[in-house]
Amino acid sequence: MLFYKFQITFELKTDKGVGNSIEARRAFKFHLGDLSGALSEGIDGDKVRVLIHRARQNLFQMLVAVDGFQELTTAKLTRLFEKFFAEHEEFGVKNAKIKDLDEITAMKFSRIFDRANRSESFNYDYYQINQDLGLDCLENRTFRLTEAICPVKRLSFESAKRDAQTLLADETFKEEFERIYSKENAHHFYGQPVHYKILAGKTGAALSLSNLLVATLYTNKRLVSRRISIITNVSENCYDESDFEKIVENAAGGTVIIELSGERVNTGQFAHAYEQVVEFIADVVKRYQRNTLCIFIELADKKGFAPQLTARLQDNLHIIELHEGAGNRDTALQYLKDLMDGADSSMSLYTDAELLEAMGDKLTFSASDIYGIREKLFNSSLKNKTYPAYREIERLTVKAEEKSNDAYADFQEMIGLTEQKALIEQIIAAHRVQKMRLDMNLDKQKAALHMSFTGTPGTAKTTVARLIAQILARDGVLKTGRFVECGRADLVAKYVGWTAKAVRDKFREARGGVLFIDEAYSLSDGEHMTFGDEAINTIVQEMENHRDDVIVIFAGYPDKMKDFLNRNEGLRSRIAFHINFPDYTPEELTEIFKLMAKRRGYEISDEVAEYCKKIFKRVAKKKNFGNGRFVRTLLEQAWLKQAQRIVKTEGEVTKEDLVSFKVEDFDVNLDKKFREERKLGFLR
């Protein structure tokens, strides 16, 4: 659906000749309902809806909606009206001229139409027109919709390349522009051959790059509309949502941008809350992919449900991945100045020297870096320039412990696991050397290096697997470093034929990273044994299909994992490394306890550490006591006891009171339960 506004000027015939009497204009206005109906099939076979929204002397302001794939031009509209008034002399119109034709968003169309309806000057069936034009889907609580008109109508190839450099776009954009402007392509809208995913650090940077992409496609007639519908803040309740589907359908000939970070996405263990959302959006996109261009935005630090949706769509859509790039200080400074010029007046007061100071000492910047700097400058301008009375007010600061961004350093700092670290070092080295051999064409095919982690709960299997993904991604062995965690609930479906698809989707989601299958032995347990066998067989097949781009790590209890692998020789033969994670010793648990407390800002006295070591010596004799999970739960329960003690304290509470524990704080339910002789099972 394409939406426009325009003006029509005219002269009216009267019995005395050409004139503009009030009676003549009233008669013309009275017949506009007939005019709208008569024009309904008027432009190249497309359905048209023409509505007057404001009447002035010799001039009417009009709205027009076109349901089709022919861009409306002043020439087309002029011919249409000339033909109509020539065939309908009862309107008494002469010298009708079209001016100021401009494409607008559906939201703007709706606002203008709503204002006209409230004026009661026009007799429209407001609710029916809203429904016919899809204007009743513009407000929804399960996602946020904004709209924009791409500001550039025509863009040459050279201009597109210059703009890409200005926006700090990656080479992937320039390569795609080569394809878009290729003379081999048809320069007419027949449908969408490809769709796009843009990887960026911030939404603003991704939207700027999206605008440029839309401008190049519109220039080459791959789009008939410059309207862009932007969907963000997708909630976990956005499934079976008719408004979402209507927006994508109504964007035919134009563009829908979907930001995939979601709203409060649950990335916890196993199946997450967005599974229905992913399935729904994938079905909608597949249904309207031919006519509606889809641009997906994946944020580097907030991937949300991007990997799942991409995996679900890649067999049905040809998705091209584009990246934001980086530029030097001069290019970045100019980009920042352009952003500041487009902001409020107080931000444009910054000098080049102030902007360079805000940029710090970095030599290269991504588009997202520049957007981040602009946000900081905007906040600063509010305080120091717009509302200078707050200039001297100090901000509240809380000193946070510095966290290492080096996954390898984090791995080395893990407590215990001496033998395991040594073996994992060998695995990492093997991957690095294999990459070198592939780069030098010494190997034709990458060897599969899948792993099996065995151990009781809380022995750091998941943590180590996640760090391995990060380390190998840093070394360039893995392309993305994605870490996809799943279990039986994600792989074994309810109905026949669904399980194999679920397994393949997980492998595609993990492409370029690690697929971590926890409690893998449960695949051969449970009520639906046949479905479990189907899952295992598909896993074996996909391990072979994705041997070059996915590392699979199976995890679970030692005995159960041994039985599980012995029952499937095909699976066992594809696992190159078997690593057992033993229970932690009381001394190691004490060190883990100190580290956890330190990271939460607590100071542990020798007395408290010794008391906790006695607890660890006692519980370590119990079967499946929880290892690191036990330590975390003990600390959390002690924190509750400490809080209860502090609020009952008379007098002033000091900082030392807040950051220190007493021995009595560890007289908690968790320890008491493990003192009991009866079997209690594993405590989570």
For residue 491, give the 3-state DSSP assignment. Answer: helix
* Nearest residue to 575 via CA among 454, 396, 445: 454
Residue 404 pLDDT? 47
- Residue 418 is predicted with a pLDDT of 81
Looking at mean pLDDT, say which of 36-45, 535-544, 643-652 comes out highest: 535-544
Q: State the amino acid at position 611 in one-letter form.
A: Y
Residue for token pair 């029952």: 567
Instruction: Give the pLDDT of residue 445.
Output: 62
| Average of per-residue pLDDT across 305-322 | 90
Which of 108, 97, 42, 105 has its CA nearest to residue 75?
Answer: 97
Amino acid at 665: D
- What are the CA-CA distances from residue 622 to residues 283, 581, 617, 631, 671 (Å)? 50, 17, 10, 14, 12
Instruction: Give the mean model confidence (pLDDT) for residues 338-362.
Output: 73
CB within 8 Å of 472: residues ≥ 6 apart: 428, 431, 478, 481, 514, 551
Mean pLDDT of the chain: 82
Instruction: Give the SS3 label for residue 306.
Output: helix
> Residues 349-353: what's their mean pLDDT?
78
Token pair for residue 404?
């290492």
Q: How far is CA 664 from CA 607, 629, 630, 644, 667, in A?
A: 11, 21, 18, 12, 5
Lowest mean pLDDT among 23-37, 134-148, 232-246, 584-598: 23-37
Q: For residue range 139-172, what is the model confidence (pLDDT) as tens digits? A: 877 899 999 999 888 899 999 999 999 898 988 9
Predicted confidence (pLDDT) at residue 94 exceeds the cutoff of 80: no
Beta-sheet strands, E only, within 131-219: 144-149, 195-200
- Predicted pLDDT at 425: 82
Q: What pLDDT, on a 0 to 100 scale, did the predictor assign at position 681?
A: 43
Type and span of the H or E element at 335: helix 329-341
Residues 342-355 have a mean pLDDT of: 67
* Residue 152 identity: V
Instruction: For 65-80, give one letter per residue: b (16+ CB within 10 A) or e.
Output: bbbbbbbbeeebbbeb
Which of the 8 DSSP states describes residue 385? I
Instruction: Supply the pLDDT for residue 29.
Output: 56
CA distance 296 to 317: 12
What is the arithmetic mean of pLDDT over 624-638? 83
H helix runs in 518-627, sequence order: 529-545, 558-566, 569-573, 586-599, 606-619
Q: Report pLDDT for 35.
A: 60
Bridge partners (DSSP) of residue 579 are: 453
663-676 residue pLDDT tens: 888 887 665 555 55
Q: Looking at residues 180-205, what average pLDDT do you find?
A: 92
Of 124-128, 403-407, 562-566, 602-606, which gets the smallest average pLDDT?
Answer: 403-407
The predicted pLDDT at position 505 comes to 84
**Per-residue confidence band for 530, with pLDDT thresholds at 50, 70 and 90:** low
Tens of pLDDT along 9-57?
Answer: 888 766 544 445 555 555 555 555 556 555 555 555 567 788 878 877 7
| The two three-digit tokens of residue 117, written as one number | 């309806």
Is it the case that residue 405 has pLDDT exceeding 60?
no
Distance CA 301, CA 202 (A): 9
Rounded to whole angstroms, the Cα distance separating 505 from 511 reads 10
Instruction: Please indicate whether residue 329 or residue 227 has the higher confidence score (pLDDT).
Output: 227
- Take residue 49 and report the two structure tokens written for it: 């809806």
Instruction: Look at residue 493 and give its three-state secondary structure.
Output: coil
Tell me how far apart the alpha carbons of residues 553 and 91 are, in angstroms, rounded to a whole number: 77
More confident residue, 662 or 343: 662
Angle between helices 329-341 and 352-359 (to 10 degrees): 120
CA angle at 471 for the pair 466 and 477, rounded to the nearest 5°: 110
Count CA atoms within 13 Å of residue 555 on its CB side: 23
Greatest mean pLDDT range, 78-87, 207-216, 494-503, 509-518: 207-216
| Global confidence as pTM | 0.63
pLDDT greater than 90 at residue 395: no
Q: Got the DSSP string for 269-284?
A: SSS-TTHHHHHHHHHH
> Which candidate, 388, 452, 387, 374, places its Cα nearest to that of 420?
452
* 232 pLDDT higher than 80: yes
Nearest 5°: the CA angle 291, 294, 297 is 175
Q: Which residues pair with 5 in a beta bridge?
A: 63, 102
Strand 144-149 and strand 17-19: the pairing is unpaired
The reported pLDDT for the residue numbered 250 is 93
Which carries the bigger pLDDT value, residue 481 or residue 156?
156
Per-residue pLDDT, 62: 86
- Between helix 329-341 and helix 367-381 the angle, nearest 10°, is 50
Output the pLDDT for position 548: 80
- pLDDT of 555 higher than 80: yes
What would the pLDDT profile of 426-469 be if each residue is shown by its tens digit?
877 887 787 788 777 776 666 677 889 998 888 889 888 988 88
Per-residue pLDDT at 276: 85
Residue 328, SS3?
A: strand
Reported as a pLDDT band with limits 50, 70 and 90, residue 197 is very high
- Pick from 190, 215, 279: nearest CA to 505: 279
